Amino acid sequence: MFNPEKFLWVNSHYLKSKPLAELAEAVKPYIAAKGYPVPEDNRWIEKMIKIFQERVKTLVELVDMGHYFFTDEVTYNEKAAKKFLTPAAGTAISRLADELSAIDDFTQPKIEAAFANTLNQCGLKLGELAQPVRVALTGSSVSPGIHEVIDVLGKQRTLARLQKALAFIA
């Protein structure tokens, strides 16, 4: 008898054990099937897959969970935006944008340092900054680690989305 739960478990185990380069090629048809442009840079696709690899059971789920990476249009979840994209958060988001824009070598350690500087300047805890930034970048209050999301999005896309959130807040 076919057991769909067992099948999904086996598939998730397969995805976790597959090399990122193979998964990058395998996911491309699923990206295209959802109507997104297929990225040409396999290293970027590998970086994106890596942050979801332990969480997903199928390639379809991978594309669905990472939808905000494949488009420049982010739609805010109404409840998340109302809760996190507030004028108080706007000040911290603006400072973080300034910190991130000053980074030349846009790497995860530098991104983490920018967050730490912003937290110190604003006197906030990580969650008080990470959640508004997460909503600004993904449209949702749920995502992989915020530093990883920023690293995959890259500097220009991150700054553009933070500016869009600041305009939304205003």
Which CATH number goes with the domain that contains 163? 1.10.10.350
| pTM confidence score | 0.86
Share of the chain above pLDDT 90, in %: 71
pLDDT on residue 8? 81
98 close to 156: Cβ distance less than 8 angstroms: no
Same domain, 103 and 56: no
Burial 40-63, CB ≥16 within 10 A → b, else e? eeeeebbbbbebbbeebbebebbb
pLDDT on residue 6? 83
Same domain, 87 and 147: yes
Region 107-118 average pLDDT: 92
Mean pLDDT of the chain: 91
Domain that holds residue 33: 4-69
Region 118-124 average pLDDT: 91
DSSP state of 77: -
Which CATH number goes with the domain that contains 26? 1.10.8.70
Q: What is the pLDDT of residues 41-93, one digit of tens each?
A: 999 999 999 999 888 899 999 999 999 999 988 999 999 999 999 998 999 99
Same domain, 85 and 135: yes
Same domain, 83 and 164: yes
Number of domains, the chain: 2
Same domain, 87 and 164: yes
